[in-house]
């Protein structure tokens, strides 16, 4: 049995990708029996459908199993697997074949096709105008991104109400269109132009700071300077740790740390992993003094959301896991 795999070289996040796999019996005299092709969709590929020119298939999660039966000498079977690219990056589809009959050349029993997927743009509708003094649950904008494959929690929307004030909008999704909703109270009547800015969480390290606590408040300013008899509170230390994480994940270009520590391969971070561990240990110590765990759940969730964009994120997640395990939490 010999396997080949092919797919699109490039695509855009949210597109459907079609991978073609061919299984051939290259033996000129013997049939292959009990032939099974196992196709595994890599991370960020979501199954849509599959076809085969012979036999049948079943799916369990990201694994599609094709029961091909017998392949006569020189016969070939063509299979297709269609999947949606749910994130950008290098996505892979892997296939391997097995048979109950002997295979003297196992080296060609597996093949992988990869696709370089580009990030999809966020397209926001134009500004709107309101004459209402107290707009409530107003749909201020719509936007599209990657055919709606991202959950609403992957974005943050900032509404500029046109009177010098801003607020964070609520995002809903219907089909492939996202809608931003907000409420506001103007001190003066008249006409106001409302503009909306949408950002995908994880495109910038500083957005981690919006995910410090178990809620999503404006924590960077709220907890700044909070102290208890001269010592930072648990919330204050958590906020400081989040800032350090953001610095660790942001390349300085000239820092002394090893390449790839944070900010990606070939760059240097402004904060070392050792410094992060020291800060996190102090944070856990403070938590024990206050009799509660540090509020790191939302920060961890945000790190998971950004792990594909920055290799240094995995280091931070492992650090969090180690410290929680050491403390028996």
pLDDT of residue 286: 78
Per-residue confidence in pLDDT tens, the chain, 329 aa: 999 999 999 999 999 999 999 999 999 999 999 999 999 999 889 999 999 999 999 999 889 999 999 999 999 999 999 999 988 888 999 999 999 998 989 999 999 999 999 988 999 999 999 999 999 999 999 999 999 988 887 888 999 999 999 998 999 999 999 999 999 999 988 999 999 999 876 543 334 444 333 333 333 333 334 444 445 666 667 777 877 887 777 654 333 333 333 443 333 446 777 888 888 888 888 777 767 777 777 677 777 766 665 667 888 888 888 877 887 76
pLDDT of residue 295: 73
- Kind of pairing, strands 231-232 and 227-228? antiparallel
Q: Give yes or no for a contact between 140 and 194, defined as CB atoms under 8 angstroms apart.
A: yes
Q: Give yes or no for a contact between 65 and 41, defined as CB atoms under 8 angstroms apart.
A: no
In sequence order, which residues have a C-beta less than 8 Å from that of residue 209 and are 6 or more positions away?
Answer: 219, 220, 239, 242, 243, 246
Q: What's the token pair of residue 302? A: 């945000």
Q: Residue 11: beta bridge partners?
A: 117
Q: How far apart are CA 293 and CA 289, in angstroms?
A: 10
The distance from CA 18 to its chain's CA centroid, rounded to whole angstroms, is 21
Q: Give yes or no for a contact between 142 and 180, defined as CB atoms under 8 angstroms apart.
A: yes
In Å, the largest CA–CA distance within the chain is 88
């Amino acid at each position: 049995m010999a396997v080949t795999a092919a797919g699109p070289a490039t695509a855009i996040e949210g597109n459907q990708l079609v991978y073609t796999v061919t299984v051939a019996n290259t033996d000129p005299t013997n049939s292959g029996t009990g032939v099974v092709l196992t196709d595994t969709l890599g991370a960020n590929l979501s199954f849509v459908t599959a076809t085969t020119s012979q036999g049948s298939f079943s799916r369990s999660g990201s694994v599609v199993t094709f029961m091909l039966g017998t392949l006569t000498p020189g016969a070939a079977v063509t299979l297709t697997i269609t999947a949606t690219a749910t994130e950008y990056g290098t996505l892979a589809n892997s296939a391997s074949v097995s048979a109950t009959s002997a295979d003297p050349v196992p080296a060609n029993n597996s093949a992988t096709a990869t696709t370089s997927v580009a990030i999809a743009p966020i397209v926001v509708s134009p500004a709107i105008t309101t004459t209402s003094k107290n707009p409530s649950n107003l749909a201020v904008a719509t936007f599209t991104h990657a055919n709606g494959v991202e959950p609403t929690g992957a974005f943050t929307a900032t509404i500029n109400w046109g009177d010098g004030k801003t607020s964070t909008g609520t995002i809903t999704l219907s089909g492939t269109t996202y809608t931003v909703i907000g409420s506001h109270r103007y001190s003066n009547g008249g006409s106001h132009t409302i503009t909306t800015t949408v950002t995908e969480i994880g495109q910038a390290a500083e957005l981690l700071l919006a995910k410090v606590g178990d809620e999503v408040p404006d924590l960077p300013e709220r907890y700044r300077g909070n102290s208890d008899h001269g010592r930072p509170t648990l919330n204050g230390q958590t906020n400081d740790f989040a800032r350090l994480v953001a610095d660790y994940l942001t390349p300085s270009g000239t820092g002394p740390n090893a390449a790839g520590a944070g900010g990606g391969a070939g760059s240097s971070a402004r904060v070392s992993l050792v410094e992060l561990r020291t800060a996190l240990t102090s944070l856990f110590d403070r938590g024990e003094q206050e009799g509660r765990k540090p509020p790191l759940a939302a920060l961890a969730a945000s790190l998971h959301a950004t792990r594909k964009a920055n290799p240094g994120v995995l280091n931070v997640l492992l650090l969090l896991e180690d410290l929680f395990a050491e403390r028996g939490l």
